[in-house]
Amino acid sequence: MNQARNRRSSLRAKTRNPAFLWRMVIWIVAVGVGLGFAAQSIFLPEPQAEASLESHALKNGWEQIEQLAEQGQWWDVWKSIPRLAYSRFLHLGPAGLAVFAGCCWLAFLLHGMQVRRAGDWRLGGSLLAIGLGILSIWPTSFLILWQEVGWGLVESDELVPGLRYNILGIGLREEFAKLCCLLPLMPILLRQRSELAALILSACVGLGFAMVENVSYFSWSQGTATLGRFLTANPFHMTLTGLVGLAVYRGLRSPKDWGPHALATFGLMVLAHGVYDAVLSIPVLVEYSIVGTIVFALVVYQFFHELRTLRPAGGDTISLSANFLCGVSLLTAVTFVYLSATLGCGAAFDGLASGVLGLAVMVYLFLREMPESMVRV
């Protein structure tokens, strides 16, 4: 008993010691670099011709669905979407990276919810929420076509049409689809009466959505976008949907007191999502990209504020900061191995180093907002 207590005490101290955490990060990344050089000498690059043929077939498939939408055959559109929307998982490398990144964040969310045993209902609920998030790609894809054909809402480089597309298009349809898919969780959450679970399980819905979306981004970038998406898209979808889910849970618990707040929260998250995408995609707004970073930081801050408020203090042997840094470094190592095996170590170094400053800022932001933050400035 004393030995176990001493081990827990030692682990608690180590995982809150910055020097130990950075040594852990360096060792994990160093092992990844070594495995990357080994992978380069063993594996051959993936055949590009096959990937090109698959991309062409996928493009033709979506063109056929667009033709059905233009003809008003919406039921056929709905039935045709899953085959193409989830075919992206056939690309095993990008799909594996997306799932691994999702698992790193899932470990963080389960830790944040203090799940400590396999029989905890919140573990099963989190896995169900991930599945619902993956499912939400289906209605999202349908709404893309509905808005294009029915509303004439298409992407534009001009300011006003571009803002309209990003807010009423991307922001509204994605947050609405995720909201629809998290609603089946509400009876469970209302019965268990846990605001912390409402926040985290709703975030898991956003994580499931991001995992599917990331497969395409990882394919297009050949894996180089993995870390950037891990530190931006994954947490952004998680925090947006987590805050919406918590607000809806409170609204259902007390409609008179929290109902208007739930509606306002949903509207604000749609706006935040749209503005974040707009400053990254509309040329006239690119010089104001700092606005996107501010929006991202505010949403993440609000999520962690709720997490700190709802989460019981103490009780963690391993710190959340250690969990997060372990996930970042493991994903860095795994991505380097994948890129080395497919593109070579030189390209792997270039791909991961290109955005290192921006990634460092994101890592700092998360470490700053952790419930047991060791960053004070």
pLDDT at 121: 92
Q: Hey, what are 188's tokens?
A: 């469970």
**Cα–Cα distance for residue pair 204/113, rounded to 1 Å:** 12
Q: Are the C-beta atoms of residues 321 and 109 closer than 8 Å to each other?
A: no
pLDDT at 144: 93
Distances (CA, A) of 288 to 161, 276, 291: 18, 11, 6
**Cα–Cα distance for residue pair 207/220, rounded to 1 Å:** 20
Alpha helices in the chain, H assignment, sequence order = 2-14, 18-42, 48-70, 74-85, 92-112, 121-135, 137-146, 159-164, 172-182, 186-192, 195-220, 226-231, 233-253, 255-281, 289-310, 320-342, 345-353, 356-369
Would you write out the chain's pLDDT as a tens digit for each of its 377 residues? Answer: 666 677 778 877 888 888 888 899 999 989 998 998 888 887 655 544 444 445 555 667 788 898 888 888 999 999 999 988 888 787 778 888 889 989 999 999 999 898 888 888 999 999 999 999 999 999 999 999 999 998 888 888 899 999 999 999 999 999 999 999 999 999 999 999 999 999 999 999 999 999 998 888 877 766 667 777 777 888 999 999 999 999 999 999 999 889 999 999 999 999 999 999 999 889 999 888 889 889 998 999 999 989 988 988 766 778 888 888 898 899 888 888 888 888 888 878 877 776 666 677 778 878 877 766 665 55
From the CB of residue 205, how many other CB atoms can be counted at a distance below 10 Å? 34
From the CB of residue 82, how many other CB atoms can be counted at a distance below 10 Å? 13
Query: Considering just the CA atoms, what is the radius of gyration of the chain in Å?
Result: 21
pLDDT at 49: 43
Look-up: residue for tokens 């505010």?
298
Backbone dihedral angles phi then psi of residue 67, each to the nearest 5 degrees: -65, -40
Alpha-carbon 12 to chain mean position: 28
Let me know if 277 is exposed, middle or buried by CB neighbors in 10 A (0-12, 13-18, 19+).
Answer: buried
pTM: 0.90
Among 310, 312, 337, 322, residue whose Cα is nearest residue 370: 322
Q: Are the C-beta atoms of residues 179 and 248 closer than 8 Å to each other?
A: yes
Q: Are the C-beta atoms of residues 140 and 177 closer than 8 Å to each other?
A: yes
pLDDT by residue (tens digit) across 29-71? 899 989 988 888 876 555 444 444 455 556 677 888 988 888 8
**Cα–Cα distance for residue pair 194/170, rounded to 1 Å:** 30
pLDDT by residue (tens digit) across 285-317? 988 888 988 999 899 999 998 998 898 876 677
Q: Are the C-beta atoms of residues 33 and 336 closer than 8 Å to each other?
A: yes
Backbone dihedral angles phi then psi of residue 255, each to the nearest 5 degrees: -55, -40
- The whole-chain average pLDDT of the chain stands at 86
Backbone conformation region of residue 277, classed left if phi is above 0, alpha if psi is from -120 to 50, else beta: alpha
pLDDT at 4: 66
**Cα–Cα distance for residue pair 124/144, rounded to 1 Å:** 31
**CA 110-306-131 angle, 5° bins:** 40
Distances (CA, A) of 96 to 91, 201, 218: 8, 23, 10
pLDDT at 313: 73
pLDDT at 295: 93
pLDDT at 62: 81
Q: Hey, what are 370's tokens?
A: 């952790």
Backbone dihedral angles phi then psi of residue 153, each to the nearest 5 degrees: -90, 105
- Residue 370 half-sphere exposure toward CB, CA atoms < 13 A: 24
pLDDT at 375: 58
Q: Hey, what are 278's tokens?
A: 């707009």
